[in-house]
């Protein structure tokens, strides 16, 4: 009940408090705290996350690095700062992951650990509200002199952790710390005060979350102001450090942007902040800019895995269609960012194309960032390897492990949406969801072996009265043939709107929908402008991109090729855990095995390719 009341409070703040009374969004998400995942694909991963991944993060933060010690030293006002100047953010992201885990898994010991950390954060806060261990320990006189020192970035991740923990537990100690920090920042920056362009975006979307919890419109105002600061020559003005406007998304005002540039993760956070502010301020100028940017990202700068960012040099972009395989950067954080951004874009439009990209990024680019055992991480996700690229237990710059630790337990967010006239089924994952429809709870159960199988059963488990909303089923872009039945009767020629099958009727308890998505193996070509992949093909099945790994193909790896005559079979892989479906491919006399891209580098070292030579015939 506590979670439900807090969620209601947040929605009330979004729709009834502050200056904004309406939202530009047509769809609202169903919060993951009301979605219990129970399938054979994601449920084991969530269990592994709770038992292993969080333990790895806690061990690294407390014992193997100085991240928590920095807060202890800052509270005492003595000692050195260890690590990188933005390391506070890793602790906040791990705490956010703990908070999300607690929402669906009561764990007193984990909650106790979170409370211990929060006590340390609160003790490290300065009397004026400022909190950042790097400057507290290296000289507060130097704060706010370099826009690329991530002060607002760290504050943003603290705010996100605070709102998540408040929603999970009702405890507001960290929320109060965050409010004091936000109020302090507003005493320094804003109209008539100092200009500021955060070198690493994140604070913008976090302030919108703070507005959502508190209902205080000044936090939304600050988020909007920070977005509007970009592109006017304020970057690094009067401060230290070098400043490349394109790298920092500061070369033009945000509503004039047309092409993604610079650092990939920063771009994703910027677009998320723009989307959040646009929704609440009904700013169609922001939406128009994001539509242009989305076309540029997805049509000209996205890998087949849904990853983005091709260059190691700037952790971002160079020129359109520059998508190398061995040198691909594809930071895990950027793939998670693609999920966050496309989720928001779907809410504006009800267009399934955004969920298509979200799904691709989630199952491939993001999921590859963590090992099957949940204890090792990729920062960089190339699409080919000579056998020298491996996951690590941790990184000096550990943004990706902590990012995955907060992303995985929140995946239930992306399954359902609700609008004035419909329930939207976006992702196919076994779960039971309790959805608030006009103040009454409707319980839906989804059963499926997705992504290995395309059959999905959706049952209205409980509805106190007939549900008078259409149910919209997403038809993925990879599926060209499907069958829908309702209570055993085939639905012929269903209405299709923006990639959703619209099932419009009154729904009663016990009503059942079966969606059968044809899931063949598909050979896909890259855009011909991608020179790297001329003469190559990739293989997809359902939402998954497949690759070849030397561990399965010791004798034939260099000779493997696809052709129009290649025959494909599917079967459970014998040496990979989790019931992974592998593809056996036969081209002439050569037989080879393909595994999902997310599962590579979980065995002995060896080469890997996602784009495979193609023999024209």
Which ranges constitute the DSSP H helices of 229-351? 264-281, 284-300, 332-349
Residue 45: closest CA among 402, 372, 339: 372
**DSSP state for residue 527 in the 8-state scheme:** P
Alpha-carbon distance values, 62 to 57, 94, 161, 296, 410 (Å): 9, 12, 18, 41, 24
Distance in angstroms (rounded) separating the CA atoms of residues 224 and 285 = 13
Distance in angstroms (rounded) separating the CA atoms of residues 245 and 425 = 40
Share above pLDDT 70 across residues of the chain, in percent, rounded to a whole number: 96
Q: Identify the CATH number of the domain defined by range 2-414.
A: 1.50.10
Alpha-carbon distance values, 52 to 88, 325, 512 (Å): 22, 31, 37
Q: With residue 416 as reference, give the H or E element that holds it.
A: strand 416-418
pLDDT tens digits along 517-560: 999 999 999 999 999 999 999 999 999 999 999 999 988 899 99
Q: How many CB atoms lie within 10 A of CB 207?
A: 30
Q: What angle do CA 410, 412, 413 make, to 5 degrees?
A: 75
Distance in angstroms (rounded) separating the CA atoms of residues 356 and 151 = 34
What is the pLDDT, as a whole number, of residue 7? 42
pLDDT tens digits along 428-437: 999 999 999 9
**Phi/psi of residue 15, nearest 5 degrees:** -110, -15
pLDDT higher than threshold 70 for residue 8: no
Please tell me which residue in 28, 151, 315, 532 is annotated as part of the active site.
Answer: 315
Share above pLDDT 90 across residues of the chain, in percent, rounded to a whole number: 90
pLDDT tens digits along 379-401: 999 999 999 999 999 999 999 99
Q: What sign results for the dihedral spanned by CA atoms 433, 3, 131, 218?
A: positive
Describe the chain by its helix, strand, coil percentages, rounded to 5: 40, 20, 40
Residue 612: closest CA among 544, 540, 560: 560
For residues 89-104, average pLDDT: 96
Overall size of the chain counted in residues? 617
Q: Is 215 helix (H, G, I), strand (E, B) or coil?
A: coil
For residues 359-363, average pLDDT: 98
What is the pLDDT, as a whole number, of residue 240? 67
- The least confident of 94-103, 111-120, 311-320 is 311-320
What is the pLDDT, as a whole number, of residue 377? 97
**DSSP state for residue 234 in the 8-state scheme:** -
pLDDT higher than threshold 70 for residue 5: no
Alpha-carbon distance values, 66 to 62, 97, 142, 149, 414 (Å): 7, 20, 22, 18, 34
Residue ranges of domains in the chain? 2-414, 418-517, 521-613
Same fold, 2-414 and 418-517: no
**Phi/psi of residue 59, nearest 5 degrees:** -60, -45
Please tell me which residue in 399, 400, 479, 547 is annotated as part of the active site.
Answer: 399
Distance in angstroms (rounded) separating the CA atoms of residues 89 and 453 = 38
Higher-pLDDT residue of 271, 20: 271
Residue 175: closest CA among 206, 146, 148: 206
Residues β-bridged to residue 385: 608
Place of tokens 């996602």: 610
What is the pLDDT, as a whole number, of residue 578? 87
Residue 275: closest CA among 339, 353, 357, 218: 339
pLDDT tens digits along 135-191: 999 999 999 999 999 999 999 999 999 999 999 999 999 999 999 999 999 999 999
Q: Is 315 a catalytic residue?
A: yes
Residue 204: closest CA among 138, 245, 134, 254: 254
What is the pLDDT, as a whole number, of residue 23? 79
Task: CATH number for 418-517: choose from 3.40.50.1980, 1.20.1050.10, 3.40.50.720, 2.60.40.1180.
Answer: 2.60.40.1180
For residues 451-469, average pLDDT: 92
For residues 83-88, average pLDDT: 96
Using an 8 Å Cβ cutoff, are 552 and 510 in contact?
no
Q: With residue 6 as reference, give the H or E element that holds it.
A: helix 2-16
For residues 85-92, average pLDDT: 97
Q: What sign results for the dihedral spanned by CA atoms 207, 339, 266, 298?
A: negative
pLDDT tens digits along 235-294: 986 566 689 999 999 999 999 999 999 999 999 999 999 999 999 999 999 999 999 999
pLDDT higher than threshold 80 for residue 466: yes
Structure tokens, 593: 């095995």
**Distance linking the first and last C-alpha atoms of the chain:** 63
Distance in angstroms (rounded) separating the CA atoms of residues 73 and 57 = 20
pLDDT higher than threshold 70 for residue 19: no
Q: Is 319 a catalytic residue?
A: no
Distance in angstroms (rounded) separating the CA atoms of residues 78 and 81 = 9
Q: Is 29 helix (H, G, I), strand (E, B) or coil?
A: strand
**DSSP state for residue 510 in the 8-state scheme:** T
Residue 372: closest CA among 64, 40, 61, 53: 53
Higher-pLDDT residue of 5, 47: 47
What is the pLDDT, as a whole number, of residue 556? 83
Instruction: Name the pLDDT band for 13 (thresholds 50, 70, 90).
Output: very low
What is the pLDDT, as a whole number, of residue 1? 34
Instruction: Name the pLDDT band for 11 (thresholds 50, 70, 90).
Output: very low
Relative to beta strand 431-437, strand 440-448 is antiparallel
For residues 572-599, average pLDDT: 95
Q: What is the pTM of this model?
A: 0.95
């Amino acid at each position: 009940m506590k979670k439900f009341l807090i969620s209601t409070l947040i929605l009330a703040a979004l729709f009834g408090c502050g200056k904004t009374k309406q939202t530009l969004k047509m769809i609202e998400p169903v919060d993951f705290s009301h979605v219990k995942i129970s399938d054979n694909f994601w449920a084991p991963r969530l269990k592994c996350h709770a038992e292993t991944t969080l333990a790895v993060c806690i061990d690294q933060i407390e014992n193997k690095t100085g991240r928590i010690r920095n807060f202890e030293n800052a509270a005492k006002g003595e000692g050195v700062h260890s690590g990188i100047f933005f390391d506070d953010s890793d602790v906040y992201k791990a705490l956010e992951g703990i908070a999300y885990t607690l929402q669906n898994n009561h764990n007193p010991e984990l909650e106790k650990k979170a409370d211990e950390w929060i006590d340390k954060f609160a003790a490290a806060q300065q009397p004026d509200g400022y909190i950042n261990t790097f400057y507290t320990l290296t000289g507060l006189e130097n704060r706010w002199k370099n826009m690329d020192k991530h002060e607002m970035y760290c504050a943003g991740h603290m705010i996100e952790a605070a709102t998540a923990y408040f929603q999970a537990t009702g405890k507001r100690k960290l929320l109060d710390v965050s409010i004091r920090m936000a109020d302090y920042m507003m005493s320094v920056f804003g109209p008539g005060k100092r200009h500021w362009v955060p070198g690493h975006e994140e604070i913008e979307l976090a302030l919108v979350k703070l507005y959502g919890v508190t209902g205080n419109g000044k936090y939304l105002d600050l988020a909007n102001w920070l977005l509007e600061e970009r592109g006017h020559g304020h970057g690094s003005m009067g401060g230290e450090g070098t400043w490349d406007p394109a790298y920092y998304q500061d070369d033009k005002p945000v509503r004039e942007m047309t092409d993604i540039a610079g650092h990939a993760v920063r771009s994703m956070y910027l677009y998320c902040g723009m989307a959040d502010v646009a929704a609440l301020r009904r700013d169609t100028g922001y939406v128009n800019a994001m539509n242009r940017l989305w076309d540029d990202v997805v049509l000209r700068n996205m890998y087949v895995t849904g990853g983005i960012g091709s260059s190691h040099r700037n952790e971002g972009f160079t020129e359109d269609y520059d998508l190398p395989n061995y040198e691909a950067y594809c930071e895990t954080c950027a793939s998670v960012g693609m999920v966050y951004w496309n989720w928001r874009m779907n809410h504006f439009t009800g267009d399934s194309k955004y969920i298509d990209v979200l799904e691709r990024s989630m199952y491939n680019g993001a999921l590859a960032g963590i090992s099957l055992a949940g204890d090792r991480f990729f920062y960089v996700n190339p699409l080919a390897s000579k056998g020298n690229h491996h996951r690590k237990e941790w990184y000096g710059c550990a943004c990706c492990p902590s990012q995955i630790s907060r992303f995985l337990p929140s995946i239930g967010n992306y399954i359902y949406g609700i609008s004035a006239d419909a329930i939207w089924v976006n992702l196919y994952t076994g779960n039971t969801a309790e959805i608030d429809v006009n103040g009454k709870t409707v319980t839906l159960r989804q059963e499926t072996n997705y992504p290995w199988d395309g059959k999905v059963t959706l049952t209205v488990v409980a509805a106190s009265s007939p549900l008078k909303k259409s149910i919209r089923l997403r038809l993925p872009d990879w599926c060209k043939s499907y069958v829908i039945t309702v209570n055993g009767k085939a639905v012929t020629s269903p209405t299709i709107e923006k990639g959703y099958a619209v099932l419009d009727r009154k729904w009663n308890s016990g009503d059942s929908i079966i969606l059968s998505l044809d899931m063949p193996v598909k050979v896909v070509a890259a855009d011909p402008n991608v020179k790297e992949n001329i003469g190559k093909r990739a293989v997809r099945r359902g939402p998954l991109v497949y690759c070849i790994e030397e561990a399965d193909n010791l004798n034939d790896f260099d000779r493997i090729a696809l052709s129009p005559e290649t025959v494909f079979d599917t079967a459970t892989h014998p040496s990979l855990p989790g019931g992974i479906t592998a593809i056996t491919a036969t081209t002439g006399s050569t037989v080879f095995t393909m595994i999902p891209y997310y599962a590579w580098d979980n065995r002995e070292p060896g080469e890997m390719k996602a784009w495979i030579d193609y023999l024209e015939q």
